[in-house]
């Protein structure tokens, strides 16, 4: 295999091309887009989404989907907020463990309903999306967690750090992304997740415990969404029962799919998902910089998502053709 | 490893599909299993490979009794089933396909990629397969995927390989490649069970042959001590009392109503030509997978075909769709009743009148409920359909009664050509004979019928002529007077 051949086999090439083209075009229209502040905004926006996307990616590779993640995020955020009110001295690491645990339980419940009652995950998580949101209101009594309820150590988590003043939230999410990559690429359970999504019948025949794998991915997805709840509290400095995490599943799922994860299961990569989320982050920051009126931003955001999906398919198709031409 | 069974039997919801099977498989032997569809050979190998657990009897490995409760238990004991349609992970690499499920280590241990690729290379080389184990599975031919499944079995040190019709999706070239490997495995002491409908292949590759019929093991013979004719005799059993098929007035006139010429759908059927006369019952015999259903669907217009022509009453049909066909007077009763024949959660009446929307509605498309009831009641009485009322949901009826409803539905549309695909599958003997009477009466009334059936007695007692299909082609068209079970079977297999 020549270097060029190998290059053409990289699945993430499509999305990478789109990112580069978008950045170049945006910078030509308005050079302000290339400033440090814009990119700081991009990289401050994505850690939360990225962490959730890691879990969602595993679920989608496994032929499922979890649309309750926004409510899981909100519940974990409210829960930790209430704990902060009672115990203002809760250390960061304890807060992470608590939110991870709360999220994991909620994800596990999703997984149990999906596997035990054999209901499609869209229906199950559509139900728990509403159920968990309801719990948020019940537990909080509808009250918002305010900035002065959240300990300073938590707020500074998303602002400073020990390392070149790169915010700790970015470092933490990078670590989570790298661990996910290692797990999916190099461990037995990672490959079994791919196998289960690729062909569940064959997976069962090969002795893979499909139920266990399904529970595992839902639990991890919930856990990471729970941790994202802490990120939210840290970064935005408030948790509102009716606002926090609402509609976030749309961005996360869109990013995962744009990143090349197949909704029919079996394929997808951490690198692709990262690029998908990065693209959405860049667009989100670019639209206001490019002076697009607020009212249009959402519509244009949607158009770009659809265009990116179509373009990605086109690029993949062209690459395949180029490859087969070379092989003849 | 020596594999044997004693008195193995299997019952599915009260139906005894396999009885008292005693069977022996020696190491270094290729043992062929043959039998008609539904004879029990597939059930038998599924029991051996852990897909089903037997209702009675025992399995012996090297003379000691073992319980095979799942495919994994079977594989750990060294018994692996190679599926007819390879079960592979198309997104993963060849090496992963070989080792999935039995890689060394616990859940979170790092996979030793270099070891796995090295091992895969060794195994692939040993069966003469030139594939880079790092390649993605997607895009490999069925034959290669099958070989990779065999490689997976070898990587687990399997001692017994069960191959369920491995050759049916393969080209002749690929078959000979597979046989080379089978012979090589046999020399190394592997015990192999080989299911096939092709007798020459069985003659070429196997040492012994066991014949199944209607859930019983009939006999095991050395392959060179039994002729093809004898094998077919064992498969179909005792001679059938020949019934007379009465000719009606229409048949004598031989008026051609449907003329099919060189119909071809690549990969499904080729060069199908036959005529259908007015009032005739034309039987379609052959094995499952011979392409009979596909031909029927193409004629009805629910599936496309690549080339060929169909003439209806002398006129060429240009427009193919179920809608057009129904307008012309075609009716199709599909094989898969639940999926394609009924609207399950809808009332019997509405099911029965669903093919005649114009007749039951007024100018504005509003349905006249009285007409629905009166039309359907006529057939409910005529066919003696057991139900509480016409408003009962059709899914609550028994299979036989559902089938009567489906046939009524099409009779209400007054078809000139009725296609019946396995009309008596899963219905009891009483309903079966009622159904035969209905079919006969229809043909006497001038309806032309295409009857697809895998039950030879059914075809022989109803059809005026019999089209035998084999692997997508018509191998023979027989007149009723010339047809016997043996002749049909000889043309259906080989």
Tally C-beta pairs within 8 A across A and B.
Answer: 66
Cβ <8 Å between A207 and B89: no
Q: Are B415 and B328 in contact (CB under 8 A)?
A: no
A187 touches chain B (CB under 8 A): yes
From residue A96, how far is each of A100, A173, A237 by CA, in Å?
A: 6, 12, 16
The H or E element that residue A152 is part of is: helix A152-157
Query: Could you give the CA distance from residue B160 to residue A154 in angstroms, rounded to a whole number?
Result: 62
Give residue B242's pLDDT: 59
Q: Which residue has the higher pLDDT, B237 or B346?
A: B346
Tell me the pTM: 0.78
Q: Read off the pLDDT of residues B8-49 as tens digits, 9 standing for 90 and up.
A: 999 887 778 899 999 999 999 999 999 877 788 888 999 999
A293 φ, ψ (degrees, to nearest 5): -60, 145
Choose, out of B82, B101, B103, B162, the residue to mutate when testing the contact with A (most A CBs < 10 Å): B101
Tokens representing B229 are 């004719």
Q: Which runs of consecutive H residues, i.e. helices, occur in B263-398?
A: 292-300, 322-328, 348-352, 357-360, 369-382
- Out of B259-263, B346-350, B373-377, B438-442, the most confident range is B259-263
> Residues of A with CB below 8 A from B155's CB?
none
CATH code for position A201: 1.10.3470
What is the rounded distance in angstroms from the CA atom of residue B247 to the CA atom of residue B280? 9
Residue range(s) defining the domain that contains residue A185: 3-327
Q: How far apart are CA B466 and CA B450, in angstroms?
A: 10
**Contact call for B75 and A189, based on CB within 8 A:** no
Write the pLDDT tens digit of every residue in B296-327: 999 998 888 899 999 999 888 887 888 888 88
* pLDDT at residue A328, as a whole number: 43
Beta carbons of A198 and B91 less than 8 Å apart:
yes
| A272/B contact by beta carbon, under 8 A | no
Interface contact flag, A191 B92, Cβ < 8 Å: yes
Of residues B18, B38, B50, B35, the one with CA closest to residue B195: B35
User: For residue B89, is it left (φ>0), alpha (ψ between -120 and 50) or beta?
Assistant: beta
Residues B262 and B271: beta-carbon distance below 8 Å = yes
User: With contacts defined as CB-CB under 8 Å, which chain A residues touch B103?
Assistant: 188, 191
Q: Which residue has the tokens 């401050």?
A: A44
Query: Which residues are CB-neighbours of A72 under 8 A, at least 6 positions away?
Result: A103, A106, A107, A132, A222, A225, A226, A229, A245
In the three-class reduction of DSSP (H, G, I as helix; E, B as strand; rest coil), residue B310 is classed as strand
CB contact under 8 A, B87 and A205: yes
Q: Which of B72, B88, B105 sits opposite A188 (nearest CB)?
A: B105
Interior/surface letters B232-244, b for 16+ CB within 10 angstroms, e for the rest: bbbbbeeeeeeee
- Determine the Cα–Cα distance for residues B458 and A237; give it in Å rounded to an integer: 78
Domains of chain B: 3-236 (3.40.50.300), 249-492 (3.40.50.300)
Q: What is the pLDDT, as a whole number, of residue A31?
A: 86
In chain B, what percentage of residues exceed pLDDT 70?
97
Q: Does B88 lie at the interface with A, CB-CB under 8 angstroms?
A: yes
Distance in angstroms (rounded) separating the CA atoms of residues B346 and A76: 46
Q: Do A203 and B96 touch (CB under 8 A)?
A: no
- B257-300 per-position pLDDT tens digit: 999 999 999 888 999 999 999 999 999 998 878 889 999 999 99
CA distance B490 to chain A (A): 36
Contact of A6 with chain B, judged by CB distance below 8 Å, is answered with no
How far is C-alpha B296 from the chain's CA centre? 15
Residues in chain A closer than 8 A to B90 (CB atoms): 198-199, 266
Contacts of B89 in chain A (CB under 8 A): 194-195, 198-199, 202-203, 266
Q: How far apart are CA B4 and CA B210, in angstroms?
A: 13
B222 touches chain A (CB under 8 A): no
Query: Scanning the structure block, which residue is given the tokens 């100018």?
Result: B363
- β-pairing verdict for B256-265 and B307-312: antiparallel
Are B71 and A198 an interchain contact pair (Cβ–Cβ within 8 Å)? no
Looking at residue B125, its pLDDT comes to 92
pLDDT score, position A42: 87
Residue written as tokens 């000139």?
B416
Q: Nearest-CA distance from A197 to chain B in Å?
A: 9
Contact B100 A199 (CB under 8 A): no
Q: Which of A58, A108, A113, A73 is nearest to A230 (CA)?
A: A73
C-alpha to C-alpha distances, B446 to A227, B14, B261, B463, B464, nearest whole angstrom: 75, 40, 23, 14, 13
Among A187, A198, A207, whose Cβ lies nearest the Cβ of B89? Answer: A198
Nearest residue in chain A measured CA to CA from B138: A198
Residues contacting B291, CB < 8 A, separation 6+: B268, B269, B272, B469, B471, B472, B473
Q: What is the pLDDT along chain A (328 residues), one digit of tens a residue?
A: 566 666 656 778 778 888 998 899 888 988 888 888 888 888 888 999 999 999 999 999 999 999 999 999 999 999 999 999 999 988 999 999 999 999 999 999 999 999 999 899 999 999 999 999 999 999 999 899 999 899 888 888 888 766 777 888 999 999 999 999 999 999 999 999 999 999 999 999 898 999 999 999 999 999 999 999 999 999 999 999 999 999 999 999 999 999 989 888 898 999 999 999 999 999 888 888 888 888 888 888 888 888 878 877 777 777 777 766 655 4
Q: What is the distance between the alpha carbons of residues A220 and B295, in angstroms, rounded to a whole number?
A: 50
On whether any CB of chain B is under 8 Å from the CB of A156, the answer is: no
pLDDT at B245 over 80: no
| Cα–Cα separations (whole angstroms), residue B283 to A142, A328, B188, B248, B256 | 72, 47, 47, 16, 16
Q: Does B110 reach chain A within 8 Å, measured CB to CB?
A: yes
Number of domains in chain A: 1
* pLDDT band for position B340 (cuts 50, 70, 90): confident
Q: Identify the band that residue B425 occupies on the pLDDT scale cut at 50, 70 and 90.
A: confident
Interchain contact, B91 vs A266, CB within 8 Å: yes
Residues on chain B touching A262 (C-beta within 8 angstroms): 91
Residues of A in contact with B101 (CB under 8 A): 203, 206-208
**Who among A187, A202, A207 is closest to B72 (CB)?**
A207
**In the 8-state DSSP scheme, what is residue A242?**
T
**Packing angle between helix B142-155 and helix B172-187, nearest 10 degrees?**
10
Pick among A189, A205, A210 to test the B interface (most B CBs inside 10 A): A205
Interface membership of B111 toward A (CB under 8 Å) = yes
The alpha carbon of residue B216 is apart from the nearest alpha carbon of chain A, in Å, by 28
Tell me the β-bridge partners of B417.
B330, B448
Contact list in B for residue A192 (CB cut-off 8 A) is 100
A266 touches chain B (CB under 8 A): yes
pLDDT at A288: 84
Average of pLDDT values for B180-196? 93
- From the list B350, B339, B343, B344, the residue with the least C-alpha distance to B421 is B339
Minimum mean pLDDT among B317-331, B428-442, B448-462: which range? Answer: B428-442
Task: Identify the CA nearest to A239 among candidates A47, A79, A48.
Answer: A79
């Amino acid at each position: 295999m020549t270097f060029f051949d190998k290059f053409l086999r990289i699945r993430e090439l499509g999305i990478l091309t789109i990112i580069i083209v978008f950045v170049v075009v945006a910078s030509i229209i308005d050079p302000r887009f290339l400033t440090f502040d814009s990119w700081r905004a991009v990289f401050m926006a994505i850690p939360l989404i990225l962490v959730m996307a890691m879990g969602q990616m595993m679920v989608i590779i496994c032929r499922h989907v979890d649309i309750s993640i926004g409510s899981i995020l909100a519940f974990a955020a409210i829960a930790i907020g209430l704990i902060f009110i009672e115990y203002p001295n809760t250390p960061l690491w304890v807060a992470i463990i608590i939110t991870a645990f709360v999220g994991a339980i909620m994800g596990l419940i999703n997984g149990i309903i999906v596997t035990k009652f054999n209901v499609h995950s869209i229906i199950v998580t559509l139900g728990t999306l509403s159920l968990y949101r309801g719990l948020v209101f019940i537990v909080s009594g509808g009250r918002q967690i305010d900035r002065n309820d959240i300990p300073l150590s938590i707020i500074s988590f998303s602002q400073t750090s020990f390392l070149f003043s790169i915010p700790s939230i970015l470092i933490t999410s990078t670590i989570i992304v790298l661990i996910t990559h290692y797990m999916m690429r190099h461990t037995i359970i990672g490959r079994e997740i791919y196998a289960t999504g690729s062909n569940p019948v064959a997976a069962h025949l090969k002795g893979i415990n499909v139920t266990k794998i399904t529970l595992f991915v839902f639990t991890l997805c919930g856990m990471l969404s729970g941790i994202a709840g802490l990120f939210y509290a840290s970064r935005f400095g408030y948790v509102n029962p009716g606002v926090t995490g609402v509609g976030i599943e749309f961005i996360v799922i869109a990013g995962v799919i744009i990143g090349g994860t197949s909704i029919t299961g079996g394929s997808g990569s951490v690198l692709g998902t990262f690029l998908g989320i990065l693209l959405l982050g860049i667009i989100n920051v670019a639209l206001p910089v490019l002076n697009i009126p607020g009212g249009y931003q959402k519509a244009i955001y949607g158009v770009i998502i659809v265009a990116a999906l179509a373009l990605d398919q086109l690029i993949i198709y062209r690459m395949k053709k180029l490859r087969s031409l070379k092989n003849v | 490893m020596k594999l044997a069974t004693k008195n193995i039997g299997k019952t599915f919801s009260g139906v005894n599909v396999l009885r008292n099977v005693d069977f022996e498989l020696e190491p270094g032997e290729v043992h062929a299993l043959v039998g008609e569809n539904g004879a029990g050979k597939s059930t038998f190998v599924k029991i051996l490979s852990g897909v089903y657990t037997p209702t009675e009897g025992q399995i012996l490995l090297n003379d000691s009794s073992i319980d095979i409760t799942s495919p994994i238990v079977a594989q750990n004991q060294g018994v692996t089933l190679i599926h007819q349609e390879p079960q592979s992970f198309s997104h993963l690499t060849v090496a992963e396909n070989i080792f999935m499920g039995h890689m060394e280590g616990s859940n979170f241990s790092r996979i030793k990629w270099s070891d796995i690729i090295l091992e895969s290379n060794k195994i692939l080389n040993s069966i003469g397969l030139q594939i880079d184990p790092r390649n993605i599975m997607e895009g490999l031919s069925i034959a290669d995927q099958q070989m990779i499944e065999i490689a997976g079995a070898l990587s687990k040190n399997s001692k017994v390989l069960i191959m369920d019709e491995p050759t049916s999706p393969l080209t002749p070239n690929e078959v000979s490649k597979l046989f080379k490997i089978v012979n090589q495995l046999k020399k190394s002491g592997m015990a192999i069970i080989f299911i096939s409908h092709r007798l020459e292949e069985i003659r070429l590759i196997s040492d012994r042959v066991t014949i199944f019929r209607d859930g019983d093991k009939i006999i095991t013979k050395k392959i060179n001590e039994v002729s093809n004719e004898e094998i077919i005799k064992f498969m179909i059993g005792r001679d059938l009392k020949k019934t007379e098929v009465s000719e009606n007035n229409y048949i004598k006139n031989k008026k051609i109503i449907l003329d099919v010429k060189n119909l071809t759908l690549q990969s499904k059927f080729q060069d199908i030509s036959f005529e259908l006369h007015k009032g005739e019952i034309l039987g379609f015999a052959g094995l499952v997978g011979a392409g009979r259903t596909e031909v029927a669907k193409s004629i009805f217009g629910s599936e496309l075909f690549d080339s060929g022509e169909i003439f209806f009453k002398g006129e060429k049909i240009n427009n193919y769709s179920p809608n057009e066909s129904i307008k012309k007077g075609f009716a199709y009763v599909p094989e898969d009743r639940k999926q394609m024949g009924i609207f399950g959660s809808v009332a019997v009446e509405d099911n029965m009148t669903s093919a005649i929307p114009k007749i039951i509605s007024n100018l504005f498309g509003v349905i006249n409920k009285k007409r629905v009831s009166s039309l359907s009641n006529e057939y409910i009485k005529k066919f003696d359909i057991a139900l509480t009322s016409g408003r009962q949901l059709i899914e609550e009826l028994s299979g036989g009664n559902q089938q009567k409803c489906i046939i009524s539905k099409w009779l209400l549309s007054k078809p000139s050509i009725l296609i019946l695909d396995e009309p008596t599958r899963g219905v009891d003997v009483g309903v079966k004979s009622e159904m035969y009477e209905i079919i006969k009466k229809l043909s006497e009334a001038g309806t032309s019928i295409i009857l697809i059936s895998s039950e030879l007695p059914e075809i022989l007692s109803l059809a005026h002529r019999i089209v035998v299909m084999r692997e997508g082609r018509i191998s023979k068209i027989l007149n009723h007077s010339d047809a016997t079970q043996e002749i049909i079977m000889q043309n259906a297999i080989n």
